């Protein structure tokens, strides 16, 4: 998605440790006009799939998911992160390992809001190691719902998440895949744009 | 807002301890069509105020804020909750006491995204004790931005938050104010609807 790649090149900041900071438009301050264009693009890429629900994860996925949902005309459910093992039987739960924060947390979704008959699109802002997205997929499968696919705004193509998710047969669409980036020169190369 | 009150009466669940569960449409599963109507209503109530930014707080405020922002044509910034004192000088930060979770946490907003010249509308899903909303207001004032007002979806009128916020001169608009509710009969009385 050219509009998004241009925006990442213009406003993204490359930091040490392969960190790409896009908090001026994606995950702290949020450019809602851009989110609407992202919604239209996901609708185009997942056309005809009869999606009836979008599932995301708190916190930064929620805003994108809610704007994208308007292009699909469906409700959004967000998985909650919790550090305390939820023992109530009324939720689906799975463990997710966070590389960023070096810990394991549980994510939960109420059984009321996901189940057989649902056709679910996963939406998130970033895909790096893929652990969060994989956790969301497990929640969908545990609920008996059908997983239509996963839509990601920015995939770090040099990390394992994309390959891991695709190897599980999940239809993954990432609007911008960063192949490599250079902190010193500030250059970003996207997949498909290599010369 | 009648549509919202009707929805709360239809799908809200009253639990022990004056808990109103609205997670089927507001803060776990999210009805985006309803959020769009909420956006139009806030736009009507805060018309002519030249708002150029919406500020909310993770997690459940983000979805509403992003859809509401479309009615205003402005970006959203969300304050992040953190348990570790952020010592970097590039953020505004304040402490918030959570009654629900019985602890104090810090909320932060990057200085890049809030400052003099901004005219800010606060948006959140719930107002009860008002500590989170008061914290957001302090961040706005600390930044030198102007606080245009605060839009709340559901205010618990029997708790102190609404009075506390209004007494500080903040223009507060709550779309549904629950005056009292009865767990046994399942009845909810909204402010303005008392006979």
- What angle do helix axes B60-72 and A32-45 make, rounded to 10 degrees? 100
Mean pLDDT (whole number) for B70-85: 90
Report pTM. 0.96
Higher pLDDT residue, B86 or A10?
A10
Closest among B95, B103, B101, B68 to B79, alpha carbons compared: B95
> Can you give the pLDDT at residue A100?
72
| CA angle in degrees (0–180, nearest 5) for B110-B143-B119 | 100
Mean pLDDT (whole number) for B22-50: 97
Half-sphere exposure of B175 (CA within 13 A, CB side): 31
- Would an 8 Å CB–CB cutoff place B108 in contact with chain A? no
Q: Contact A62/B67, CB-based, under 8 Å?
A: no
Nearest-Cα residue of chain A relative to residue B62: A63
Residue B83: which pLDDT band, with cuts at 50, 70 and 90? low
Tokens of B159: 């708790």
Q: To the nearest whole number, what is the mean pLDDT of chain B?
A: 95
- Would an 8 Å CB–CB cutoff place A154 in contact with chain B? no
What stretch of H or E contains A169?
A: none
State ipTM: 0.95
> Can you give the pLDDT at residue A99?
77
> Can you give the pLDDT at residue B124?
98
> Can you give the pLDDT at residue A88?
59
Which distant-in-sequence residues (6+ apart) come within 8 Å of B47 by Cβ?
A: none
Which distant-in-sequence residues (6+ apart) come within 8 Å of A167 by Cβ?
A: none
B30, B36, B78 ranked by CB distance to A28: nearest:
B78
Residue B85: which pLDDT band, with cuts at 50, 70 and 90? low
Which distant-in-sequence residues (6+ apart) come within 8 Å of A53 by Cβ?
A: A74, A75, A76, A77, A113, A114, A118, A119, A120, A121, A145
The tens place of each residue's pLDDT in chain A, 195 residues long, gives 999 999 999 999 999 988 999 999 999 999 999 999 999 999 999 999 999 999 999 999 999 999 999 999 999 999 999 866 555 569 999 999 987 778 899 999 999 999 999 999 999 999 999 999 999 999 999 999 999 999 999 999 999 999 999 999 999 999 999 999 999 999 999 999 875
Check if the beta carbon of residue A64 is closer than 8 Å to that of residue A125: yes
Find out whether the peptide bond into B162 is cis, omega within 30 degrees of 0: no
């Amino acid at each position: 998605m050219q509009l998004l790649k241009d925006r990442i090149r213009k406003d993204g900041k490359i930091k040490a440790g392969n960190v790409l900071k896009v908090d001026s438009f994606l995950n702290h301050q949020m450019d809602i006009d851009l989110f609407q264009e992202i919604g239209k693009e996901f609708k185009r890429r997942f056309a005809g799939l009869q999606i009836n629900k979008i599932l995301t994860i708190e916190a930064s996925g929620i805003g994108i998911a809610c704007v994208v949902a308007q292009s699909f005309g469906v409700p959004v459910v967000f998985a909650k992160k919790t550090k305390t093992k939820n023992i109530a039987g009324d939720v689906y739960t799975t463990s997710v390992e966070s590389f960023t924060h070096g810990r394991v947390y549980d994510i939960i979704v109420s059984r009321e809001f996901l189940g057989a008959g649902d056709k679910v699109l996963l939406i998130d802002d970033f895909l790096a190691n893929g652990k969060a997205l994989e956790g969301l997929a497990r929640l969908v499968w545990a609920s008996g719902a059908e997983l239509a696919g996963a839509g990601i705004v920015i995939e770090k193509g040099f990390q394992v998440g994309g390959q891991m998710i695709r190897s599980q047969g999940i239809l993954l669409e990432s609007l911008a895949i960063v192949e490599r980036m250079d902190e010193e020169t500030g250059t970003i190369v996207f997949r498909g744009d290599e010369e």
